[in-house]
């Protein structure tokens, strides 16, 4: 006799041979039942027949993939439909008319049963070493929507990422890893809905496992998998930006989409109020076992069924919280470290949140690479011409070893960046002194006030050739510093096209041409795009061997020397008054030698080049004074233009 039985795990909707098992963690006082919709939108109600602790579960015969379902609770004498926290797909794009009502929930909270089968066509994960990784942060829609080379029907979608023209661009630029802004289904904040706007970036999750339907033509699950498969075929990794620090349900008085209706203790509480370490109204309590299970199950799901190559964790300090304290040895980090599925992928932390003791740069466990805001701030300040940053820029170039020892590289290499989704684009960093966020509807009060940017004489766009030339050189200065520093370089996709957001440094709600990458390049933007591809290739050729040699136990055999322009070793006084210096990196066996020459001053500076023990001359790799990369050989000295950086390789 073959009798089918219901089972408590895994949670969510799991297809079986003859039906579907539905399981949910439910610890609230609100009565719960299962709702199944037919093709006409009519529904039937089913009780959960089994219990296992706080798990309610049942098995329903004849349920197939694409079946629509939800969980009903009775709250305030109203029948409210809840999204399954383990929903793998949503029928509708999340949206509602403020205020949210029980009636609207019966459309918004419809989940779809998914069959996880997919033809991966024997594609393999690229497994790019950290030292060779070039991260490109991008938005699914904004990256391809205006690219006329991409097939029109797939622009702005998951399939647009897999379009041959998009993949060709990524490969030409030398990108190894695409980091997608959140693709898990997102709900827009009430104040945005009132203004007929959306949360464009997606940092307000409503379903952790369901890809957002906004970016699909018809089937978000299979279209996202197709994009990842095609990128993998071209040796390009995919990292997902994930948000586990809060949900879209807000704080006190907020809406109930799922977790609030299933278990109040999914959130941290202080005297009955939702804690707000995230600035979004609530904070997910990872010390609560069902919350920890949800996060861990979600991470494994993305890796096992979408073949993603890693994650970037938004406000990751929240995941290490034990109420007001951060603990790098807490249950979440231990669970990740022992998980055989997650041990194989890249883990990137935004190592802070807005709660007490929220700044935790350098404190994450081994295996976690941390975003370095200190690199960002130092690089921008230094090239803007601020004084007393010479020692700091040297520290950042050498991999911020004041925060993380090189003995823990490459698994603890910092993620260095100049521009990110939150903040100015690279083009705006050299075009605007002030933020211009009026389009966001918050009276220009939102967004970061400390941009460390400059306009070099004119706010915004200009036709002045002198200002344009200086701006282009400053872009090259910052990118060269980024690519020839020890760390994992993070680039913003819009920067390859010199995209401007018109001075908006917080375009989270701008589903418009403010955010959509402009692919119509003028002469200067086209030159920069070509130069960027060349300098990335130079980085892979010349800097990667240095990172590998200076990582782990091998680092003690390598040599680092800092010189004044006259060729003397830097003294304590030089670090406080000099405006130019030279870094000499030497792999101990003579395999590789590199010079990084920096001139922050406003006048050309002549450098005496150090002698190589193994080579006859130095070859110029890059000089940011020029918009093209041309090889030039020097022996004894070199004159470096004002406000420039040059890279040399020993030959």
Domain ranges of the chain: 12-112, 557-650
In this prediction, residue 578 carries a pLDDT of: 86
As beta bridge partners, residue 135 has 177, 490
Element (H, E) at 321: strand 321-322
Per-residue pLDDT, averaged over 224-239, amounts to: 98
Distance CA 637, CA 618 (A): 10
To the query of whether residue 314 is one of the catalytic residues in this protein, the response is yes
Q: What is the pLDDT of residues 252-296, one digit of tens each?
A: 989 999 999 999 889 988 878 899 999 999 999 999 999 999 999
Domains 12-112 and 557-650 alike in fold? yes
Determine the CATH number of domain 557-650.
Answer: 2.60.40.1180
Per-residue pLDDT, averaged over 567-589, amounts to: 85
Half-sphere exposure (Cβ direction) of 464: Cα atoms closer than 13 Å: 13
Superfamily of domain 12-112: Immunoglobulins (2.60.40.10)
As beta bridge partners, residue 371 has 415
Contact 139, 200 (CB under 8 A): yes
Distance CA 395, CA 164 (A): 40
Q: What is the pLDDT of residues 417-443, one digit of tens each?
A: 999 999 999 999 999 999 999 999 999
Residue 587 has pLDDT above 80, yes or no: no
Distance CA 18, CA 37 (A): 18
User: Residue 323 — very low, low, confident or very high, per pLDDT cuts 50/70/90?
Assistant: confident
Region class of 265: left (phi > 0), else alpha (psi between -120 and 50), else beta: alpha
DSSP letter for each residue of 239-299: EEEE--S--TT-STT---SSHHHH-GGGB-EETTEE--SSSSS--B-TTSHHHHHHHHHHH
- With helix as H, strand as E and coil as C, how does 44-85 read? EEECCCEEECCEEEEEEECCCCCCEEEEEEEECCEEEEECCC
Distance CA 449, CA 188 (A): 24
Distance CA 605, CA 46 (A): 79
Half-sphere exposure (Cβ direction) of 96: Cα atoms closer than 13 Å: 21
Annotated catalytic residue within 163, 223, 350, 454: 350
Q: What is the mean pLDDT of the chain?
A: 95
Lowest mean pLDDT of 23-32, 255-264, 343-352, 403-412, name the range: 403-412
Residue 315 has pLDDT above 50, yes or no: yes
User: Residue 15 — very low, low, confident or very high, per pLDDT cuts 50/70/90?
Assistant: very high
Distance CA 161, CA 167 (A): 7
Contact 414, 374 (CB under 8 A): no
Distance CA 379, CA 277 (A): 29
DSSP 8-state secondary structure symbol assigned to residue 569: B
Query: Within its chain, how far is the Cα of 50 from the centroid?
Result: 41
Residue 2 has pLDDT above 80, yes or no: no
Q: Torsions phi, psi of 309, nearest 5?
A: -100, 0
Q: What is the pLDDT of residues 456-470, one digit of tens each?
A: 999 999 999 999 999
Q: Dig out the tokens for 99 from the structure.
A: 């205020």
Per-residue pLDDT, averaged over 526-552, amounts to: 96
First to last CA, the chain: 77
To the query of whether residue 434 is one of the catalytic residues in this protein, the response is no
User: Residue 621 — very low, low, confident or very high, per pLDDT cuts 50/70/90?
Assistant: very high
In this prediction, residue 590 carries a pLDDT of: 66
Residue 613 has pLDDT above 90, yes or no: no
Query: Within its chain, how far is the Cα of 163 from the centroid?
Result: 21
Query: Within its chain, how far is the Cα of 391 from the centroid?
Result: 29
Lowest mean pLDDT of 496-510, 516-530, 558-572, name the range: 558-572
Residue 4 has pLDDT above 80, yes or no: no
Query: Within its chain, how far is the Cα of 28 from the centroid?
Result: 34
Residue 43 has pLDDT above 60, yes or no: yes
Instruction: Find, among 303, 291, 181, 210, the residue nearest to 244 by Cα.
Output: 291
Q: Which residues contact 374 (CB under 8 A, 6 or more apart)?
A: 361, 392, 396, 400, 403
Annotated catalytic residue within 314, 353, 428, 593: 314
User: Residue 1 — very low, low, confident or very high, per pLDDT cuts 50/70/90?
Assistant: very low
This prediction has a pTM of: 0.96
């Amino acid at each position: 006799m073959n009798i089918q039985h219901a089972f408590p795990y895994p949670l969510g909707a799991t297809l079986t041979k003859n039906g579907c098992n539905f399981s949910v963690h439910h610890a609230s006082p609100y009565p719960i039942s299962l709702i199944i919709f037919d093709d006409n939108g009519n529904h039937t109600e089913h009780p959960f027949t089994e219990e296992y602790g706080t798990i309610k579960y049942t098995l329903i015969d004849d349920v197939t993939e694409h079946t629509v379902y939800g969980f009903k609770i009775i709250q305030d004498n109203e029948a409210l439909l809840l999204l399954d926290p383990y929903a793998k797909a949503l029928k509708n794009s999340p949206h509602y008319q403020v205020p949210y009502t029980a009636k609207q929930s019966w459309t918004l909270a419809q989940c779809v049963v998914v069959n996880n089968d997919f033809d991966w066509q024997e594609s393999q994960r690229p497994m790019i070493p950290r030292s060779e990784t070039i991260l490109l942060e991008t938005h699914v829609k904004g990256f391809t929507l205006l690219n006329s080379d991409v097939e029109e029907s797939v622009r702005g979608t998951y399939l647009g990422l897999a379009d041959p023209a998009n993949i060709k661009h990524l490969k030409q630029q030398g990108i190894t890893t695409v980091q997608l802004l959140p693709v898990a289904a997102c709900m827009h904040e009430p104040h945005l809905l009132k203004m007929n706007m959306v949360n464009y970036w997606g940092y307000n999750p409503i379903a952790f496992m369901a890809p957002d339907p906004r970016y699909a033509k018809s089937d978000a699950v299979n279209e996202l998998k197709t994009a990842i498969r095609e990128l993998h075929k071209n040796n390009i990794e995919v990292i997902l930006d994930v948000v586990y620090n809060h949900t879209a349900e807000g704080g006190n008085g907020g809406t109930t989409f799922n977790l609030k209706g299933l278990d109040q203790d999914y959130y941290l509480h202080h005297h009955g109020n939702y804690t707000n370490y995230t600035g979004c109204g609530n904070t997910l309590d990872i010390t609560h076992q069902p919350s920890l299970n949800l996060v861990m199950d979600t991470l494994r799901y993305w890796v096992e069924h979408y073949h993603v190559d890693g994650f970037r964790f938004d406000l990751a300090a929240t995941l290490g919280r034990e109420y007001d304290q951060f603990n790098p040895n807490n249950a979440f980090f231990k669970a990740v470290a022992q998980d055989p599925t997650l041990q194989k992928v890249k883990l990137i932390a935004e190592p802070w949140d807005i709660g007490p003791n929220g700044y935790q740069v350098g404190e994450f466990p081994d295996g976690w690479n941390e975003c370095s805001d200190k690199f960002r701030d130092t690089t921008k300040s230094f090239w803007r011409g601020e004084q007393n940053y010479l020692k700091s820029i040297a520290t950042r170039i050498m991999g911020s070893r004041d925060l993380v020892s090189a003995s823990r590289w490459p698994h603890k290499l910092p993620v260095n960046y100049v521009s990110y989704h939150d903040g100015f684009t690279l083009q705006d960093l050299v075009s605007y002194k002030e933020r211009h966020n009026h389009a966001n509807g918050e009276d220009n009060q939102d967004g970061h006030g400390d941009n460390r940017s400059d306009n070099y004489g004119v706010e915004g766009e200009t036709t002045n050739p002198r200002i344009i030339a200086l701006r282009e050189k400053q872009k090259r200065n910052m990118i060269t510093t980024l690519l020839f520093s020890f760390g994992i370089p993070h680039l913003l996709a819009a920067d390859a096209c010199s995209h401007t957001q018109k001075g908006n440094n917080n375009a989270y709600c701008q589903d418009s041409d403010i955010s959509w990458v402009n692919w119509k390049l003028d002469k200067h933007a086209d030159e920069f795009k070509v130069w960027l591809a060349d300098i990335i290739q130079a980085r892979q050729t010349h800097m990667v061997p240095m990172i590998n040699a200076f990582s782990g136990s091998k680092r003690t055999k390598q040599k680092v020397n800092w010189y004044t322009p006259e060729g003397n070793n830097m003294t304590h006084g030089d670090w406080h008054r000099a405006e130019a210096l030279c870094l000499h990196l030497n792999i101990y066996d003579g395999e590789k030698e590199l010079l990084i020459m920096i001139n922050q001053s406003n006048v050309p500076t002549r450098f005496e080049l150090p002698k190589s023990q193994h080579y006859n001359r130095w070859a110029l790799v890059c000089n940011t004074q020029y918009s093209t990369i041309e090889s030039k050989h020097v022996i004894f000295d070199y004159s470096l233009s004002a406000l420039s950086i040059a890279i040399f390789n020993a030959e």
